[in-house]
Amino acid sequence: MILRRADGRPPPRRGRGKGGDGSGGPAPGGVRGLLGRLGRSPRTGERSLLAELAAEFAGTMILILFGVGVVAQVVAAEIGDHDSIAWAWGIGVTLGVYASARISGGHINPAVTIALAAFKGFPWRKVLPYSLAQTAGAFVAALLVRWNYTEVLAAADPGHTIRTQVVFSTLPGNGELPVGTWGAFRDQIIGTAILMFLVLALTDLNNSPPAANLAPFIIGLVVVAIGMAWGTNAGYAINPARDFGPRLASFLTGYSTAWRDQYGQLYFWVPIIAPILGALIGAWLYKVLVGRFLPVQGEPEPGRVPSPEGDHVRSR
């Protein structure tokens, strides 16, 4: 998620906002204060990067504990349904972002990190470390789910086949419907583009972002909506770490077909490449259709609620 200054630098304590990159000087509270302060870390230099990576690891781990956990419960134990899955994934995103945003920005998704580097000035030198930390968090969380649901998974699917492989990683048509590799690839591009477009819309201070620190909550609702509307063709991975980390965990714990789909085709690359392309497209669309037309607002006076009509509005 994009809940920090996009250039990765601590924001100035005073002064005017920097523009449409979702950054600017901090305000006493609300989403402006949250987004403005999230670039700060308790240490500087390499120790600062370590803190950010730890936060990304933790945030992504929380996401997967809820997301993969609910799929295990629904698929293996037949407790819950599709709506349970959609809501738990959305809540997992919200909680993962809340847990990590103050330190790292709460990306918890390599596709988001790459799009921020390409369009919002996030440092490219941090992209690979962030992505590895996110994937590691997803991997560890999936191992915990696999361990916790050992007996239930074995009872439901003693051979650890495609039937319960879907607990950990996505498949075209969720392993059942007549969707092939390229249909799933297309789906992942569209779904992640929707996610990235709305993440930027919800966190751009020059737009109308949610106040009272509600941005992570609304982003979670976006993921719920994507799951309900775009979950059929490919299981809405929309996050390379979310898919690859648990896929690797399942392979190492008995799922020998983890890298392939139900047709026997190598599939693991689809939820990696397609979400990255989708995030880049979504960020570009936001810039072209919305971001470049927004006025740049100055810092509001203390105690005042920012509004489009007040506080030093100037055109780009």
- The reply to whether 65 falls in a domain is yes
- The reply to whether 298 falls in a domain is no
The beta-carbon contacts of 186-190 under 8 Å, at least 24 apart in sequence, are 186/233, 186/274, 187/230, 187/232, 187/233, 187/234, 187/236, 187/274, 188/234, 188/236, 188/237, 188/238, 188/270, 188/271, 188/274, 188/275, 188/278, 189/274, 189/275, 189/277, 189/278, 189/281, 190/230, 190/278
Q: How far is CA 142 from the centre of its chain?
A: 16
Q: What is the pLDDT of residues 59-91, one digit of tens each?
A: 999 999 999 999 999 999 999 999 999 999 999
* DSSP conformational letter for 213: T
Sign of the CA dihedral 45, 48, 52, 57? positive
What number of other Cβ atoms are within 10 A of residue 54's Cβ? 15
The answer for residues whose C-beta is within 8 angstroms of residue 224's C-beta and 6 or more apart is: 86, 87, 89, 90
Q: What is the pLDDT of residues 243-285, one digit of tens each?
A: 999 999 999 999 999 999 999 999 999 999 999 999 999 999 9
CATH number for the domain spanning 222: value is 1.20.1080.10
Residues counted in the chain = 316
- The reply to whether 41 falls in a domain is yes
Give me the domain span that covers residue 251: 33-292
Write down the H helix ranges in 120-159.
Answer: 127-148, 150-156
Query: 242 in helix, strand or coil?
Result: helix
- The reply to whether 99 falls in a domain is yes
- The reply to whether 157 falls in a domain is yes
What number of other Cβ atoms are within 10 A of residue 182's Cβ? 11
- The reply to whether 314 falls in a domain is no
What's the number of domains the chain is made of?
1
Q: Which of 32, 4, 8, 9 is nearest to 297 (CA)?
A: 32
Q: Measured at the alpha carbon of residue 22, what is the angle toward residues 98 and 8, in degrees to the nearest 5?
A: 75
CA distance 253 to 267: 19
Q: What is the pLDDT of residues 186-228, one digit of tens each?
A: 999 999 999 999 999 999 989 988 888 999 999 999 999 999 9
Q: What is the pLDDT of residues 12-68, one digit of tens each?
A: 433 333 333 333 333 333 433 333 333 344 444 445 999 999 999 999 999 999 999
Query: 40 in helix, strand or coil?
Result: coil
Is 8 buried (19+), middle (13-18) or exposed (0-12) by CB count in 10 A? buried
- The reply to whether 81 falls in a domain is yes
Q: Does pLDDT of 11 surpass 50?
A: no
Write down the H helix ranges in 43-126.
Answer: 45-77, 82-104, 110-119
Tell me, yes or no, if the pTM score tops 0.85. no
Sign of the CA dihedral 226, 231, 234, 237? positive
